[in-house]
């Protein structure tokens, strides 16, 4: 029996979303299957593979695999996509989605745009995690010569997954593909890290690109956008609310002062339906 799927994307960050509730039964692909499905030449192609599973406390549990086959705890844009599905199916204006990173709430007053409460960012060095104690507003890491580094003193934020954010003067010349894979597996990050590059355009606007852990360059990254805003505000570079401009489009990020939660709002798109080979 083949299994139906939806191909969805959040600002070009694309996913294969598989139903794993009810009659569909559990879906637990091995690493080889995830890589085969994610392959853009010979498979369906995606940044992440998502399974929507039953949940005891929420409306569904979302399981996430990166394109390299590794299971990960969080994906912001995928949460918006799954939230859209659950909101549309239930007819309600809010749903709860369980993940390995915790329970997230998705809401919408307009089903073309979904808001996810990503919870509070984790900012301690051991929460990122880093391999040694450092101030995560600007860690001791640089790229290039000691006396003239190309990049240096990035901020670190965990939004359910680890992010390091380099601040650059021109995103067009940022060495995303050169530095990204080098920092992703740097010994300072025992669980690996998503590598972001942020250019501050204004106090309420950030241009952002990212090398995603286990994926590579993606057109958008929801948790990365959240991390960029948090890292920028902690450095006094922006307000607590800003538009994050990525290759695939824009997200509105709001780091609320009242409870410390980060809200992420953006568009969702369904590309097509199919059945897994």
- Domain with residue 152: its CATH number is 3.10.310.10
Query: What is the per-residue pLDDT for 2?
Result: 80
In a domain, 137, yes or no: no
Is residue 91 domain-shared with residue 176, that is, in the same domain?
A: no
For residue 83, the enclosing domain spans 4-118+267-275
Is residue 149 domain-shared with residue 112, that is, in the same domain?
Answer: no
**Residue 191, exposed/middle/buried by CB under 10 A (0-12, 13-18, 19+)?**
middle
75 as an active site residue: the answer is yes
**Do 75 and 162 have their domain in common?**
no
Work out how many domains the chain is built from and give that number.
2
- Strands in 127-248 per DSSP E: 142-143, 151-152, 155-158, 162-167, 194-202, 205-212, 216-217, 241-246
* Average pLDDT of the residues of the chain: 95
Which pLDDT belongs to residue 27? 94
Which helix (H) or strand (E) is 89 found in, with range?
A: helix 76-90
Which of residues 213 and 145 earns the better pLDDT score?
Answer: 213
Are residues 232 and 271 part of one domain?
no
Q: Which of 46, 75, 81, 156 is catalytic?
A: 75
Answer yes or no: do 114 and 164 share one domain.
no
Predicted confidence (pLDDT) at residue 148 exceeds the cutoff of 90: no
Same domain, 102 and 150: no
Q: Are 201 and 245 in contact (CB under 8 A)?
A: yes
Whole-prediction pTM = 0.93
- Is 132 contained in some domain? no
Assigned domain for 85 exists: yes
**What is the pLDDT at residue 25?**
86
The answer on 189 and 147 residing in a single domain is yes
54 DSSP β-pair partners: none
Q: Is pLDDT at 1 greater than 70 in this prediction?
A: no
206 and 177 belong to one structural domain? yes
- Given the residues 46, 81, 156, 221, select the one marked as catalytic: 221
Q: Please, are residues 252 and 243 in contact by the beta-carbon 8 Å criterion?
A: yes
Of 271, 248, 238, 272, the closest CA to residue 76 belongs to 248
Is residue 13 a part of any domain in this protein?
Answer: yes
Tell me if residue 81 is catalytic. no
| Cα dihedral 197→202→203→209 (10° resolution) | -20
If asked whether residues 170 and 90 sit together in one domain, one would say no
Does the pLDDT value for residue 98 go beyond 70? Answer: yes
146 and 228, same domain (yes or no): yes
Contact 117, 105 (CB under 8 A): yes
Q: Average pLDDT of 66-80?
A: 95
Residue 202 lies in a domain: yes
- Whether residue 200 is found in the same domain as residue 271: no
pLDDT score for 277: 76
Tell which residue, 191, 188, 184, 120, has the closest CA to residue 157: 120
Mean pLDDT of 56-69: 96
Whether residues 96 and 178 fall in one domain? no
Does residue 92 carry a pLDDT above 80?
Answer: yes
């Amino acid at each position: 029996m083949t299994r139906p799927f939806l191909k969805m994307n959040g600002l070009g960050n694309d996913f294969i979303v598989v139903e794993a509730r009810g009659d569909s039964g559990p879906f637990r692909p091995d690493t080889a299957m995830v890589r085969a499905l994610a392959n853009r030449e010979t498979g369906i192609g995606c940044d992440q593979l998502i399974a929507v599973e039953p949940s005891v406390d929420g409306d569904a549990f979302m399981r996430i695999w990166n394109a390299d086959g590794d299971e990960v705890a969080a994906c912001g844009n995928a949460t918006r996509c799954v939230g859209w599905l659950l909101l549309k199916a239930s007819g309600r204006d809010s749903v709860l989605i369980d993940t390995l990173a915790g329970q997230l709430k998705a809401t919408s007053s307009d089903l073309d745009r979904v808001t996810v409460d990503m919870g509070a960012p984790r900012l301690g060095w051991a929460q990122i995690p880093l391999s040694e104690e450092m101030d995560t507003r600007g860690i001791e890491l640089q790229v290039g010569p000691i006396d003239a580094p190309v990049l240096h003193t990035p901020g670190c934020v965990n939004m359910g997954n680890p992010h390091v954010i380099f601040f650059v003067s021109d995103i067009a010349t940022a060495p995303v593909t050169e530095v990204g894979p080098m920092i992703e597996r740097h010994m300072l990050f025992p669980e690996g890290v998503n590598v972001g590059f942020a250019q501050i355009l204004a106090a309420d606007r950030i241009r952002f690109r990212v090398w995603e852990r286990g994926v590579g360059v993606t057109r958008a990254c929801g948790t990365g956008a959240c991390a960029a805003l948090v890292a920028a505000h902690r450095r006094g570079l922006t307000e607590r609310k800003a538009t994050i401009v990525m290759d695939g489009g824009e997200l509105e990020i709001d780091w609320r002062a009242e409870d410390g939660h980060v809200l992420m709002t953006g568009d969702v798109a369904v590309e097509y339906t199919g059945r897994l080979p």
